[in-house]
Amino acid sequence: MKTVIMAGGRGTRISAVAPDIPKPMIRINDRPVLQYIIESIRDQGFTDFIITVSYLGHIIEDYFGDGSKFGVKITYFHEETPLGNAGALFYLKDQLTEDFLLLNGDAVFDIDFKRFIEFHKANGGSATIFTHPNSHPYDSGLIIADKDNRVTRWLAKEDERPLYYKNRVNAGVHILSPKALESIKTADKDHKVDLDRNILKPLCSTGELYCYDSPEYVKDMGTPERLKSVLNDVREGKVSARNLKNKQKAIFLDRDGTINKYVGFLRNIDDFELLPGAAEAIRKINDSGYLAIVVTNQPVIARGEVTIPELDEIHCKMDTLLGNEGAFIDALYYCPHHPDSGFPGEIPELKFRCDCRKPNPGMLLAAAKDFNIDLKSSWMVGDGENDVKAGLNAGVTPMLISENKYDNIKTVQSLLEAVDLILSGPC
């Protein structure tokens, strides 16, 4: 699979840091960020690169040459006049006859591309975009997808958005098929091509665009502040640690009574209210080496009291409220089943004893499989006995939010206290 890296931008927002070199040549520790990108994916078997260059492009060419000293093959496309961030793809069509990776030359990432490509091939779409939650969804573009991860809407940050939304943001890492390029009819100084607006967004209406959700590290370093953050993350090992080839650790979270106020069976979205300190606690998880994963029993689905779209909307409210405070959930699992019958409007096919309903460990085990989680290094935090049992059954360490004390189970007063204890070391 070829890899196209777009490295022709001027980098005006970060010019104060590097006024005399192209943005992809800014150093991350001892290497230009572009070298960091090339070596990262070379080590996963990708050796055929096309780099698009423009502003000060000769500096990139002089440094990398034909790629042989880095163990890869590199060819270049020169933009003599600005073509937009995807205009070069029009001229590269004849070389891009199979699916290819399309990357930004100013982003730092460490991704298990094998997983990403397998997802793309399994769905067979024209394009797949890498998506993740971030700490500021309120001023980011949003990707809205259906249950099969087909993108249905692509909202720019200036577009009107729903009151509540899933925290899902395009990270700037893509897999495209040649079919995705068919919409490019021309590319010249009078007709610039924008990747999002002219290629990807039109696919939303066709069912041909998919999103691949992952907690792996992807961050651009396009401003001095972001560059500083990326440098710190690289030095602290956060970038490579998040690659899903490596074992992850998670803090599994119950929902009702742990993140939001307990009101019994939550049926009305207006009753969803974050508990004090919950967003701060989750933000601390986000800044640590742990994943924040919600696992929640939702028998209201089987009982016919809440529909799946209504539950999705409740979870969108949770994402939105957390995002407003700079926090996010890496993944959410819910059990819709309930073993008991006799409820008006119940859904018979969901009335059975399952492996996912806590105290069974199914949701935690599913997350462990999806994200390569080391359960022995992980925690389960909840406010009920079933949360404790689910954690023990899955092989994670439980912590109980409770006023009462229990033998052999650590109890705390709040999620924030639990997270502080976990992150402080052995407890």
> Domain limits of the chain?
3-235, 247-424
Q: Is 150 helix (H, G, I), strand (E, B) or coil?
A: strand
Query: What tens digit of pLDDT does each residue of 228-259 get?
Result: 888 889 888 999 999 999 999 999 999 999 99
- Report whether pLDDT(190) > 70: no
**415-424 helix and 278-287 helix, angle to the nearest 10 degrees:** 20
Q: Does domain 3-235 have CATH number 3.90.550.10?
A: yes
Task: Lowest mean pLDDT of 51-55, 59-63, 69-73, name the range.
Answer: 51-55
Q: CA–CA separation, 282 vs 164, rounded Å? A: 19
Provide the pLDDT for residue 84. Answer: 84
Provide the pLDDT for residue 19. Answer: 67
**DSSP E strand stretches across 71-121:** 73-78, 100-104, 107-110
Catalytic residues: 254, 256
Provide the pLDDT for residue 303. Answer: 96
Residue 292 contacts by C-beta under 8 Å, 6 or more apart in sequence? 250, 251, 253, 282, 285, 286, 328, 329, 330
Q: Is 146 helix (H, G, I), strand (E, B) or coil?
A: coil
How is domain 247-424 classified at the CATH fold level? Rossmann fold (3.40.50)
Provide the pLDDT for residue 140. Answer: 93
Percent of the chain past pLDDT 70, that is, above it, reads 96
**Beta partners for residue 332, in sequence order:** 294
- Report whether pLDDT(15) > 60: no
Q: Which residue has the higher pLDDT, 63 or 30?
A: 63
For the beta carbon of residue 231, count every other beta carbon within 10 angstroms. 16
Q: CA–CA separation, 290 vs 285, rounded Å? A: 6
Query: What tens digit of pLDDT does each residue of 360-415 get?
Result: 999 999 999 999 999 999 999 999 999 999 999 999 999 999 998 888 899 999 99
- Report whether pLDDT(355) > 60: yes
**Beta partners for residue 250, in sequence order:** 291
What's the chain's average pLDDT? 93
